[in-house]
Chains A and B, each alone.
Chain A
Amino acid sequence: MASTQLKAQLNDLLNSMFAMDFLDEQFKQLQMLEDGSCPGFISEVITIFCDDAERILSLITELLSKPVVDFEKVDAYVHQLKGSSSSVGAKRVALVCIKFRNVCQESDKEGCIATLHEIRREFDELNKKFRIMLQLEQQIQALDSKR
C-alpha cells in the first residue's frame, strides 16, 4: 500500500514537473530507456547531470567574478550546460542557457550575472525536485525489494 502511495506521489511530482515545463519529451525518452535493461539509469544520469551542472555553474561564477571576463570561455561552459540539460530534458534550464548564450555573445557582463542567477535558480529548483524524485524512487525500490 505504501508503495502505491509513493508511486502516486512520484507520478504527481513528475506530472507537475512536466506541466511546469521543468522537464520535456527528452526525459520521457530517458524513462523509456530505463526499463529492464539498465536499472537505475535515470538516477545515474540525473546525478551526473546535477554534479556536472553544479561544477559548470561554479566555474562560470568564478569566471564572471573576475574583473576581465573571458566571454568565450563562459560561452563554452554554457554550451556544455545547455547540451547536458537538453540531454536530460531539463527544459527550463536549457531555455535559460539559450538566453545566457545570447547575452554572452553581447559581452554583457551584468546580463550574464543576472542570467547566471536565473540559471542558478532554475537549476536549484530542478535539483530539489530531482532529489525528491530520487528519494521516492529509492524508497519505492526499497519497499519493493523487501517484498
Chain B
Amino acid sequence: MGSVEVDSKPTGRRWRLHQSAMVVLWVVVSLTIWAGLHWHIRRLSMRKAEEGLVSMCDERARMLQDRFTVSVNHVHALAILVSTFHYQKEPPALDQETFADYTARTAFERPLLSGVAYAQRVVHAQREVFETQQGWVIRTMKRDPSPVQDEYAPVIYSQETVSYIEALDMMSGEEDRENILRARATGKAVLTSPFRLLGSNHLGVVLTFPVYRADLAPDVAEEERVEATAGYLGGAFDVESLVENLLSQLAGNPEIIVKVYDVTNASEPLIMYGPDLPDGFPSPSHISMLDFVDPFRRHNMVCRYSKKPSVPLSAITTPSGVFVICMLVGYIVYAAWNRYDNVKEDCRKMEELKKQAEAADIAKSQFLATVSHEIRTPMNGVLGMLDMLLDTRLNSTQKDYAQTAQVCGKALISLINEVLDRAKIEAGKLDLEIVAFDLRSILDDVISLFSSKSREKRIELAVYVSDDVPEVLLGDPGRFRQIITNLVGNSIKFTERGHIFVQVHMTDHSKLITEQKPDPRINGHNDDSISTPALVSANADFDTLSGYEAADTRNTWENFKQFLSLSSHSTENGSAHNSNSEPVTLFVSVEDTGTGIPLHAQSRVFTPFMQADSSTSRNYGGTGIGLSISKCLVELMGGQIWFVSRPRIGSTFTFTAMLQWCERNGAEEMKKDAFDILPSCFRGFHAILVDKRPVRSVVTKYHLQRLGISVETVGNVDLGITAWTAEKGKFLPGSKRRCIFLVESDSSGGKNGSFSQDQILERSCNGSILDVPKLFILATSELEKKKFPGLSENAYIMKPLKASTVAACLQLGLGVDLQNSNKNGNNIEGPSLHGLLVGKKILVVDDNRVNLRVATGTLKKYGAKVECVESGKDALALLQVPHKFDACFMDVQMPEMDGFEATRQIRLMEEKANEKVKTGDYEAKDDEVAGMDWHLPILAMTADVIQATYEECIKCGMDGYVSKPFEEKQLYQAVAKLLAPADS
C-alpha cells in the first residue's frame, strides 16, 4: 500500500499543476470571450449611432438647403421686380419709398434675410450725373466719399432694416466687389464667404443678384452680360439664426451638434454656424454637402453627438452572462473531472484491497485446511483412547463423562471433516471418481441412515427413482451420497411432521412438468375422487406424500401422474441410447414439510457457515457448512442446485447432476456385487396395495416392483378385496403365483377405522384357505402397531421403505410359506445340487474359520461329506495321491501358501502320479482309482470375481471358481461342470 502511495505522489502533483494551469487558461479564455463580445456589441451600437447621425445630418442639411433656396428665389423675384419697374418704365416706377414699402411688406417671404438693398451700376463717367441726380455723394463702406473708381455700385434702394447702407458703394468692400463681379458674369445668385454682419453681429453671408436691363438668353457671353448689367440686388443671410431656427423646429435632438462650414477653400474651412467648442472627445461625425445655389461656393454641414455616446447596458450584461456561464461550465467540467479522478483512485484502492482480501481468503483456506488436518490427527488419538477407555471398567459417572467427551469429539471430527472438504473444494483439489454404481441402492443406504430418526419423529421418509433412470451409472457414488445425505439430514433436522421425499428423474421430464404447471396452488385439492372422503383428516388436504402441503408442488398427484406416464413412455424408447457414454442429467429433489427457510435468509442459504438465524444452531445444531459443500459438489458434477421454500410449509431442494451411462458389461459386473443384490424369490408375486395417497402408493409400488412384484393399487380395503377376488379368478389352481395384501396404516378402511385379517377372511367370499393373501401393514412408527391388535409382529413393514427392508419383512412375514416355496425351489434346483453333491467327499481349504464353517455348512446341507483344512500346506498333505476326495474348494488368498500356489503343487503331484500310472510303476490298489487320471476338480473361492482372477485361476490349473459367500445358482453351475451327476 505504502509503495503505491509513494508512486502516486509525483503524478498527483503533476496532475495538480496541470489542473491549475487549466483553470487559469480557462479563466483567460473566458475573459477574452467577455472582452470580444463586449467590443462587438459596442461596435454594433456605434454603427447604429452613426447610421442615426447620418440620417439626421442629411435631413437637417436638406431642410436647410430648401429654406435657403426658397429665400434665394424670393430675392430673385425681387430682382426681376426691380428690373421691371425701374428700368423698363420711363420714368422709373420705383423709388426708395416704394421699394422700402414693398420689401417691408414682403419680408415674411424672406425670413432668413435680414434685409435687401439694390445698388445701381454707375461707371465713373456717369458718376457726376448720378451724384447730382441723387443728391448725394457715393461713399465707400467706411462712409468716406468714394475715391475715383472705374465703376461704382452705390445702394439706391434699401429695405428699412438696412437703410444704413444707402449710398454706400458696394464695390468698395472687397467681399462685395468680388460678389458683384461674379454675379454679373454668371447672371446667377452669388454668395460671399461668411462674415460678421453689421448690426446683428451674427455670422452671415451676403447674397448678390445681378439685374440686367433686358432679358438675356441663358447662353450669352460674359461681356454682354457685363454690358447689360443695370445693378445688383443683395441681401444678407443671417445663417446663424437660420440654422438655429431650423434646429429649434427639430426639437428632441439636442444631442446633435451641427456646424456649417464654407469650404470653398478646402484647406481653410470657414465656419458659418456652430458653437466654437473644442471637439473634446472622439465622436462619430458626419459631413453632408449643402448646395446654396452659388456653384462657386461650397458648403457643408458637420454633425456630431453632443455627448459621448453611452456604452449600451447589454454590452456589459451579455458578456458578463456569457462569462458566468463559461465559468460555470468550467467548474462543472472541473468538478466532474475531479470526481472522476477520485472515483478512479478509489477504484484502484478498492482493487488493491480486493486483491488483499482474496489473498487473505486463500491464506485462510490454506490455514484452515492445515489446521484441520493437524487437529484431526490428535483428535483421532483422543477418540481412540476414549473408545478404549469406555471398554474398561468405569463407574456410571465416569462412563457418562467419557461418553460425553466421545460424542463431542465425534462432532468435532465431523465438523473438521466438513471444513476440510470445503477447503479442498475451494482449493480445487477435490476430484470426482468415475466408477459404476447403482443409484437406487445408494438412495436406499441414505434412507436407512435416517430411518431411526424418521421413525422417532414419525415422519414419512420415502425415495423414488423413476423407471427411466438407468440402473447403473458412472459417477462418484460417495459424493452423490454425501449431497443427498446432507439434504436429507437438513430436512430431517427441520421437519417435525409430514414427510421427506427424495425423487430422482431424468431432467427433461421434470422440466416439462414444471412448465406445464406454473401455478402450484391450483392442484391442491382435487383428489377426493381417489381417497375415501370419510377418512380425509383436517390437515390432509394436500395431495402430497403425507398429505401436508409442500413448498414446491411438483409432487402433487396431478403432476406426478403426468410424469409417470411420460417416464414409462420414454422407457419404451429408452433402449436407443444404451451403449455410448453420453452424459445423463439427473434431476434430484428432496422435499420436506418442515419449518422452511425464512425469506430473509433464503439468499444466503448456500453461503458457508450461514444459518437461517443464530437461534438455528441453538435449536438444531450443525455448522451450516453442509449446504455450501453440497452446492460445490453439485457444481463439480456439472449441475446446479436451487430450492423453493415457504416458511412453515416446507422446502424443496433440487439439484441436477451429470453422470454417464455405463457400458453394458460394466453394469453386469456391478450386478454381481453381492451387497446390492435383491432377493429374486418374490418374482411373480402379486400385491394389492391399499393406499389412499396416490403419491405414496407410487413410492411403495416402486420398491415392490424392484423386487419383481406386480402391484395393483386401490383406494380402500373394500376395493382391495374386490380386486383380490377378481385376481383370484385368474389364478389357475396350483399356480405358484402368490398374492400379498399391503395396507397403509392410515388407509385401513373399515368404518371404525381399523380391521383385522379376519375381516378380510370374512369378506373374501369363502375363498379356500390356501388362496388367502398374506396381509401386511405399512407403518410409519411403532405406535401405529397398536391400531391393529389382532396382527402378529411380522405383519408390519416399517417405514421408510426400501427394497431390501421390504424383502426382509416379506420373507419374515411369509415365513413358513416362503420356506415352502424355497423347498419347492429346491425340488427344482435342489435335486440337481443335492444330486451332484450327495455323498461326495469334498475338501474345503480356507484360512478364515468363519468362511470355512459357513462353506462346510452349506455343502453339508446338500449332502456332501466335507473335510476342512486351514492352510494350503495342510491341503497338500491331505491330497497326497491316492486320496478319496471328489472335489476341492480352495480359498485364493491365504497366508503362507495361497490358493494358486497350492493348486500348482497339487497339479504337479497329480502329474507325477499319472506318469507313474502310465509307466506302470504305480500299482492300483483300489478299484475305484485304478485306470483313471488323477485330476482333482479344484474350485477357487473368491470374493472379488473379476476377469483377472478368473484367468489366473485357469492358469494355475484350477477348474473354475465360486463366489464367496456361496450363491446357490452359481455354485450349481460351477459344480455341474465338474462333477457328473451320474456318479450318484
Binding site for B on A (CB under 8 A): 8, 11-12, 14-15, 18-21, 24-26, 28-30, 32-33, 35, 37-38, 41, 44-45, 48-49, 52, 76, 79-80, 82-89, 91, 94-95, 110, 113-114, 116-117, 120-121
- Given contacts A20-B448, A117-B384, A120-B387, A30 and B812 within 8 Å (CB-CB): no
- Which of chain B's residues have a CB closer than 8 A to the CB of A37? 860-861
Q: Which residues of B contact A89 (CB under 8 A)?
A: 965
15 contacts between A and B (CB under 8 A): A8-B792, A18-B805, A18-B809, A19-B798, A21-B445, A26-B674, A29-B965, A29-B966, A30-B854, A33-B861, A48-B849, A85-B850, A91-B675, A95-B675, A113-B380
Could you tell me the distance in whole angstroms from the C-beta of B375 to the nearest C-beta in chain A? 11
Q: Is the CB of B383 within 8 A of A117?
A: yes
> A82 to chain B: which residues have CB within 8 Å?
943
Q: Count A-B contacts at CB 8 Å.
A: 119
The CA of A12 and the CA of B82, in the complex, are separated in Å by 172
B677-708: which residues lie under 8 A (CB-CB) from chain A? Answer: 677, 679
Residues of A within 8 A of B857 (CB): 30, 33, 38, 41, 45
- Minimum CB–CB distance for A138 against chain B, Å: 19
Known: A15-B808, A33-B858, A45-B853. Is A83-B822 also a contact (CB below 8 A)?
no
- Residue picked from B793, B857, B860, most chain A C-beta under 10 Å: B857
Partner of B850 from the list A38, A87, A121 (CB cut-off 8 Å) is: A87
Question: Is there an interface contact between B850 and A26, defined as CB atoms closer than 8 Å?
Answer: no
A52 to B451: give the CA distance in the assembly, Å.
Answer: 31
- Pairs A-B, 4 closest by C-beta atoms: A84-B850, A18-B808, A87-B854, A49-B850
A19 and B805 contact, Cβ closer than 8 Å, known pairs A84-B850, A87-B965, A110-B380:
yes
CB pair A48 B853 closer than 8 Å = yes
On chain B, the residues within 8 Å of A120 by CB distance are 387
Q: Which residues of chain A come closer than 8 Å to B943, judged between CB atoms?
A: 82-83, 86
Report B836-879 residues with CB < 8 Å from chain A CB. Answer: 847-851, 853-855, 857-858, 860-861
Enumerate chain B interface residues (CB-CB to A < 8 A): 376-377, 380-381, 383-384, 387, 413, 445, 448, 451-452, 674-675, 677, 679, 792-794, 798, 804-805, 808-809, 811-812, 819, 822, 847-851, 853-855, 857-858, 860-861, 891, 893, 895, 943, 964-966, 968
CB closest residue in chain A, given B452:
A20
Contacting pair B853 A12 (CB below 8 A): no
- In the assembled complex, the Cα of A89 lies from the Cα of B794 at a distance in Å of 21
Contacts of A20 in B (CB 8 A): 448, 451-452
* Residue from A19, A25, A44, A87 in contact with B677 in the complex, judged by beta carbons closer than 8 Å: A25
B418 to chain A, nearest CB (A): 15
Which residue of A has the minimal Cβ distance to B852?
A48
- In the complex, chain A residues whose CB is within 8 Å of the CB of B804: 18, 21, 24
Given contacts A12-B793, A37-B861, A110-B380, contact A52 B849 (CB under 8 A): yes
Tell me whether B805 and A86 are in contact (CB under 8 A): no
CA distance A84 to B847 in the complex (A): 10
Decide: A25 and B452 in contact? CB cutoff 8 A. Answer: no
Question: How distant is the Cα of A80 from the Cα of B943 in the complex, in angstroms?
Answer: 11
Residue contact A87 to B793, C-beta cutoff 8 Å: no
Closest to A55 in B: B849
Q: For A18, list chain B residues within 8 Å (CB).
A: 804-805, 808-809, 812
A119 CA / B965 CA spacing, docked (Å): 20
B850 touching A19, Cβ below 8 Å: no
Q: Name 18 extra pairs, CB < 8 A, besides A18-B808, A86-B964, A88-B850.
A: A15-B808, A15-B812, A18-B812, A19-B448, A21-B445, A24-B804, A25-B674, A26-B674, A30-B854, A32-B822, A44-B853, A52-B850, A79-B893, A83-B851, A87-B850, A94-B675, A113-B384, A117-B383
Closest residue of chain B to A14, judged by CB? Answer: B812
Residues in chain B near residue A28, CB distance under 8 A: 679, 808, 811
Asked if A19 and B854 make an inter-chain contact with CB atoms under 8 angstroms apart, the answer reads: no
> Do residues A52 and B808 form an inter-chain contact, with CB atoms below 8 A?
no
* Complex Cα gap A80–B849 (Å): 9
Interfacial chain A residues near B893, Cβ < 8 Å: 76, 79
A112 to chain B, nearest CB (A): 10
Query: Contact at A26–B811, with CB atoms within 8 Å?
Result: no
Smallest Cβ-Cβ distance to B811: which chain A residue: A28
Within 8 Å by CB of B847, from A12, A14, A80, A121, lies: A80
How far, in angstroms, from A57 to B824 measured CA to CA in the complex? 42
A52 pairs with B860, CB closer than 8 A: no
